[in-house]
């Protein structure tokens, strides 16, 4: 049986797998976050909708409610940015996951461009939270202003350590090509090559995606969802309820490739002959990303919220020192390995 | 962070993650699934407040003692004033029952009060005479036992939700002629 060639295009299948599974992961991770927090706090969590599934469909019910809600644009807000930035936020949050391969042959980008996929993904992710500042400006509300200012301060706090954690790993692997990076982690994963860089990555992503204990820009007790104040309906679903989690997914996918070995034990062959193997590799990567995301949302259950000045001093004193240490370890590995 | 040793901070973070994992795997829940199961209060509940208008002397002590000003005196056809309760404001403290000198107000254990409209919460004296009809939604009654020593909650099935208890008989005090 001859299949048309476009049906076996790896770009198409990478796009489909990434788009569909990231949405499934998004649904599952929000449900898991609420269930884990409820368990630790001796509650039940989402239950009433689909009790037999443990309330799994609650998020779909919420999404339907968000979509059917009236779209309200405040009079004082900058209407163009207010409408344009939330879709841009989600797009920029999901785009980095398309720039990295899910298996050696499943990739949207092809070879010469794919070498720079990881760096491009990181650059997009660092642009992402400038959009959050823009959202806070567009809303024109004092809480949104405060949240945006906090987000801007947080960007300075996590960007340099996070970037240097990834840079340290690139130094260890002597390459920025994601496929070669994974092929170098066949026996030892990156988190064991350079544990300091992994710790910096964990802390940096927790800061970048407003996970606890660094949920400072949009902490409801302080600033009433921060930059996303006055957003309602589909806009709230695109930013606060969805976009942040999609950004977390993109960060976790990068972390799974760089620190957790990607598809390392599974080595699929060329694409059309080894379709199942490639899908298995993609699922293995996505499973690692999912486990990383589970850890990040688990922090909500156990961590308090840190104060902004504590976080900044913690970041500039300790995380930056850790990142420098990680770079030192990587330099030693670069010279020895 | 401030004034804390680095080792202490790291140990605290690891410890709290361990505790969280323990509870994630083996949760100890306090939840009573309320609409699906009703806790057995064993009669010790402050519920809907009934009124015998024959006993009421219109002394207004109940209205004056009410901490939320939920009680209002309504003029009836016989020219006397009787208390009516706004359940949108009532906090079920039962001070009015305690204060009533002639036992005209009496307590019940009807606790599942829900209203569709705000106007339904206004109980005037003529409707306060008969208790509200509570629909029998959930038959499952559980007895909740808190074992504080082990930090656990044990739920024991306490049978079906029976018919509401009959109203208490009128106490034998002289009835004021209306």
Residue B176, pLDDT above cutoff 60: no
Q: Which residues of chain A approach chain B closer than 8 Å at the C-beta?
A: 36, 39-40, 42-44, 47, 298, 301-303, 306, 310, 313-314, 318
Is there a contact between A124 and A100 (Cβ–Cβ < 8 Å)? no
pLDDT band at B160 (very low <50, low <70, confident <90, very high): low
Which residue has tokens 């936020």?
A89
Which residues of chain A lie closer than 8 angstroms to B138, CB-CB?
A: none
Q: Which of A36, A44, A303 is opposite residue B29, by nearest beta carbon?
A: A44
**pLDDT tens, residue by residue, A296-334:** 999 888 888 888 888 898 899 889 999 999 999 989 988
Spell out where B7-148 has E strands: 38-39, 49-51, 71-75, 81-86, 105-107, 122-123, 140-147
ipTM of the complex: 0.76
Q: What does DSSP say about strands B140-147 and B38-39: parallel, antiparallel, or unpaired?
A: parallel
The pLDDT tens digits of the residues spanning B63-94 come to: 999 999 999 898 888 888 889 899 889 998 99
CA of A254 vs chain B CAs: smallest distance (Å)? 24
Minimal C-alpha gap between B163 and chain A (Å): 27
Residue-level pLDDT at A77:
85
Average pLDDT over residues A233-238: 85
pLDDT band at B43 (very low <50, low <70, confident <90, very high): low
B-chain residue closest to A308, CA distance: B1
> pLDDT tens digits for A260-289?
888 888 778 787 777 788 888 888 999 999
CA B39 – CA B56 distance, rounded (Å): 34
In angstroms, the CA A139 to CA A122 distance is 27
Span A116-131, pLDDT tens digits: 888 999 999 888 888 8
> B152 to chain A: nearest residue by CA?
A42
The average pLDDT across A190-212 equals 88
Per-residue model confidence (pLDDT) at position B18: 92
Query: Of the spans A233-237, A295-299, B108-112, which averages the highest pLDDT?
Result: A295-299
Instruction: Give the closest residue to A281 by CA, choosing from A108, A109, A103.
Output: A103
Q: Maximum CA pair distance of chain A? A: 65
Gap from B153 CA to chain A (nearest CA, Å): 10
- Which residues on adjacent β-strands are paired with residue B140? B160
For residue B37, name the pLDDT band (cuts at 50, 70, 90).
Answer: confident
Residue of B169 and A316 predicted with greater confidence: A316
For the full predicted model, state whether its pTM sits above 0.90: no
**A78 falls in which pLDDT band (50, 70, 90)?**
confident
Q: Which residue has the higher pLDDT, A198 or B137?
A: A198
- Mean pLDDT of the residues in chain A: 86
Residue A71, exposed/middle/buried by CB under 10 A (0-12, 13-18, 19+)?
A: exposed
Within 10 angstroms of residue B114's Cβ, the number of other Cβ atoms is 9
Give how far A42 is from chain B: nearest CA, Å: 4
Query: Given A43, A303, A314, which is nearest B31 (Cβ)?
Result: A43
Coil, strand or helix: which one is A102?
A: coil
Q: Is the pLDDT of residue B161 over 60?
A: no
Structure tokens at A30: 């929000």
Rg from Cα positions in chain A:
20
What percentage of chain A reaches a pLDDT higher than 90? 15
Identify the pLDDT of residue B68. Answer: 92
Residues A34-53, mean pLDDT to the nearest whole number: 86
A16 has a pLDDT exceeding 60: yes
Chain A's closest residue to B2, CA to CA, is A310
Six-digit token string for A246: 């999609």
Residues of chain B whose beta carbon is less than 8 angstroms from a beta carbon of chain A are 1-2, 6, 16-17, 19-21, 23-24, 27-31, 33
User: How many CA atoms lie within 13 Å of B60's alpha carbon, on the beta-carbon side?
Assistant: 8
CA dist., res. A111 & res. B102, Å (int):
92
* Spatial contact of A151 and A132, defined as CB atoms under 8 Å apart: yes
Average pLDDT rounded to a whole number, residues A209-218: 82
Q: What is the pLDDT of residue A327?
A: 92
Q: Per mean pLDDT, which range of A114-118, A163-167, B156-160 is the poorest?
A: B156-160
Flag if B20 and A310 touch (Cβ within 8 Å). Answer: no
Compute the average pLDDT of residues A191-195: 87
Cβ(B39)–Cβ(B144) below 8 Å: yes
Q: What pLDDT score does A328 carry?
A: 92
pLDDT at A185 over 80: yes
- The pLDDT value recorded for residue B172 is 61
Measured CA distances, A257 to A222, A269, A286 (Å): 36, 18, 10
| B2 has a pLDDT exceeding 60 | no
CB contact under 8 A, A302 and B28: no
From B156's Cα to the closest Cα of chain A, the distance in A is 18
């Amino acid at each position: 049986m001859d299949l048309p060639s476009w049906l076996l295009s790896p770009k198409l299948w990478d796009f489909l797998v990434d788009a569909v599974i990231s949405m499934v992961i998004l649904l599952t991770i929000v449900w898991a976050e609420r269930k884990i927090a409820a368990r630790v706090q001796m509650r039940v969590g989402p239950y009433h909708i689909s009790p037999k599934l443990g309330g799994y469909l609650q998020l779909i019910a919420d999404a339907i409610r968000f979509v059917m809600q009236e779209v309200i644009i405040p009079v004082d807000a900058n209407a163009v940015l207010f409408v344009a930035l939330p879709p841009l936020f989600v797009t920029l949050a999901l785009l980095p996951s398309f720039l990295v391969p899910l298996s050696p042959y499943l990739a949207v980008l092809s070879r010469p461009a794919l070498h720079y996929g990881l760096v491009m993904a990181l650059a997009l992710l660092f642009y992402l939270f400038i959009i959050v500042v823009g959202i806070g400006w567009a809303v024109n509300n004092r809480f949104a202003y405060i949240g945006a200012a906090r987000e801007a301060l947080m960007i300075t706090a996590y960007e340099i350590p996070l970037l240097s954690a990834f840079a340290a790993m690139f130094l260890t692997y002597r390459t920025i090509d994601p496929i070669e990076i994974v092929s170098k982690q066949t026996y030892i994963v990156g988190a064991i090559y350079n544990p300091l860089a992994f710790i910096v990555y964990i802390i940096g992503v927790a800061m970048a995606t407003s996970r606890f204990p660094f949920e400072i820009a949009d902490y409801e007790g302080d600033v009433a969802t921060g930059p996303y104040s006055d957003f309602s309906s589909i806009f709230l679903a695109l930013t606060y309820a969805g976009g942040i989690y999609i950004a977390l997914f993109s960060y976790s996918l990068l972390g799974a490739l760089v620190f957790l070995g990607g598809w390392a034990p599974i080595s699929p062959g060329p694409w059309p002959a080894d379709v199942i193997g490639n899908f298995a590799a993609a699922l293995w990567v996505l499973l690692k990303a999912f486990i990383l995301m589970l850890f990040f949302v688990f922090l909500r259950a156990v961590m308090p919220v840190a104060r902004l000045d504590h976080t900044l001093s913690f970041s500039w004193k300790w995380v930056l020192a850790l990142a420098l240490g990680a770079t030192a370890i990587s330099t030693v590995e670069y010279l020895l390995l | 962070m401030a004034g804390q040793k680095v080792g202490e901070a790291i140990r605290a973070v690891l410890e709290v993650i361990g505790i969280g994992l323990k509870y994630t795997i083996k949760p100890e829940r306090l939840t009573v699934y309320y609409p699906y199961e009703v806790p057995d209060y064993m009669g010790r509940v402050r519920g809907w407040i009934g009124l015998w208008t024959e006993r009421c002397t219109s002394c207004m002590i109940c209205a004056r003692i009410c901490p939320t000003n939920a009680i209002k005196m309504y003029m009836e056809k016989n020219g006397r004033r009787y208390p009516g309760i706004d359940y949108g404001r009532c906090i079920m403290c039962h001070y009015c029952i305690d204060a009533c000198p002639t036992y005209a107000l009496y307590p019940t254990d009807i606790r599942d009060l829900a209203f569709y409209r705000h106007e339904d919460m206004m109980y005037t004296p003529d409707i306060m005479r008969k208790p509200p009809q509570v629909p029998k939604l959930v038959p499952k009654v559980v007895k909740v036992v808190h074992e504080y020593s082990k930090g656990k909650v044990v739920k024991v099935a306490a049978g079906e939700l029976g018919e509401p208890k009959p109203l208490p008989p009128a106490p034998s005090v002289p009835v004021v002629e209306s």
